[in-house]
Structure 1
Amino acid sequence: MAFFSQSAARAADFSHLQQASVEFRDATKRYGDNRVLNGINLRVNPGEVVAILGPSGSGKSTLIRLINQLEPLSEGEIYIDGKPTRGLSGRALRALRSRVGFVFQQFNLYAHLTALENVTLALTHVHGLKPQAATARALGLLAQVGLQDKAGELPAQLSGGQQQRVAIARALASEPQIILFDEPTSALDPEMIGEVLFVMKTLAHSGITMIVVTHEMQFAREIADRVVFIDGGEILEQAPPQQFFSAPAHPRAQRFLQKVLDPLHLERKDLA
């Protein structure tokens, strides 16, 4: 399995991408009587890379799915560049999703379309590009993620890491100002994780706002500008990575890091 090459990384150029801010104000999400997020207040600055950490079931994925209305807000508001997004529909919602790319855990590629066709689909059907222009843009993006030679292959012919890189290229096709990653390596075999993180590292700090839900502590430590720790649907701590990983302030964050970074160090009560 070929990893994303150093030469491809040097060739990647995302510098034309724009930046945007995201702000949550008292954002709450309920499913019936179950409150998944409880009054979230968070601002992500233009061009910032924010890693969202927390245990399973803490509300991390729900948080980012609210941004482009894959899940509707129950209460509160989310702003992009100061403009409210709640309740958008039709053309306004499509415009929002053009500005906000999303990379899913399970790739969500169309199985009957080639890698190239997966990237060009929205360009022709949503953005109205002519086939020749859409193909040229898609091939450029596939080259930037190290997959131009895989353009004609179906998802089933690609490794998991390659499929996720196609998904990243697809998310970038509309030149979004923000890109959201929902645990993008969780469905990958360990040997494939590095190639996806390498692409994300190349993308970081190159002109796009990134919000990344992840369990990859090394990525959060080395690439993120800020770590946001969530548990029980609430933000318990925000800090620069160096501070968070060396001296987390909240007791719940301390326990989380102990278990994640030193999984063999368990107290008897953790096994009860």
Structure 2
Amino acid sequence: MAKGRIIKALSGFYYVDYNGKVFRCRGRGVFRKRKITPLVGDSVEFEESGEQEGYITAIDDRKNELVRPPIANVDQAIVLSSAKEPNLSLNLLDKFLVMVESKHIQPILFFTKMDLLEKSEAQSLQSKLQYYQDIGYTIRFLSKEDQDLVEQVSSFLEQRISVFAGQSGVGKTSLLNALIPGLELETNEISESLGRGKHTTRHVELIPFQNGLIADTPGFSALDFAELELESLPNCFPEFVERRDTCKFRGCMHIKEPGCAVKTAVEHKEILAERYENYLHFIEEIKQRKPRY
């Protein structure tokens, strides 16, 4: 039985890399019966059924799994946000970070299009976003004018499975094209009427790079918390986790409880107020979601 990794899923077929040779495979009916969908990134066993054709017969246990984008076994998430066009949304950034943290995936934050800002605007934005570095995230500010742009990004990708994701129009596809000459993924201009980019990537695909794999994924403009339990949300904020043992009550949700170390830190401006407000919004969003049956 051959064993490989799914590197692309498209139109009901799963493209499995096996020692550098790609087999176009179908999934066995047993997966449908068990409501299991093979994902890009899965390590699978398959049977050959013809010239570079086959059937997936087994899927190894996953160390993690994302829904948007649909991919498994990711080492790190390169989260791209633009400084302008579309304007930076900390709410969207924090929402994606929650999703990544809930899956125990390491996030790295890239802020693109810094060249579109005036010097004072860039300095102000960098000062504000220093907070994310202070709480433990790796961040980089990128400009298309950077002569070493490819080198800056490449250093993070060696021997890792990395998912590139971000709001549509932030420059994700352009960056991938710069990293991999000849890839020539389609890019579109920002829609003036919508204020955001058009979706140009239609499927998830793993692309070999630097002895690792990077994923081009469909852009997104919204996320939900369908899989996240309310009690788990505070664990997705590292600055909250750092203070939870000093809260008065075990299991503090950092909302109205007395003796809450997180609320005290917000009052003392040790926690970014906007990020705490996003946390409260996420709580309400989880509370208001439709029950799952």
Q: Normalized against structure 2, the TM-score is what?
A: 0.30
Higher helix share: 1
Q: Max radius of gyration: which structure?
A: 2
Structure of greater relative contact order (alpha carbons < 8 Å, 6+ residues apart): 1
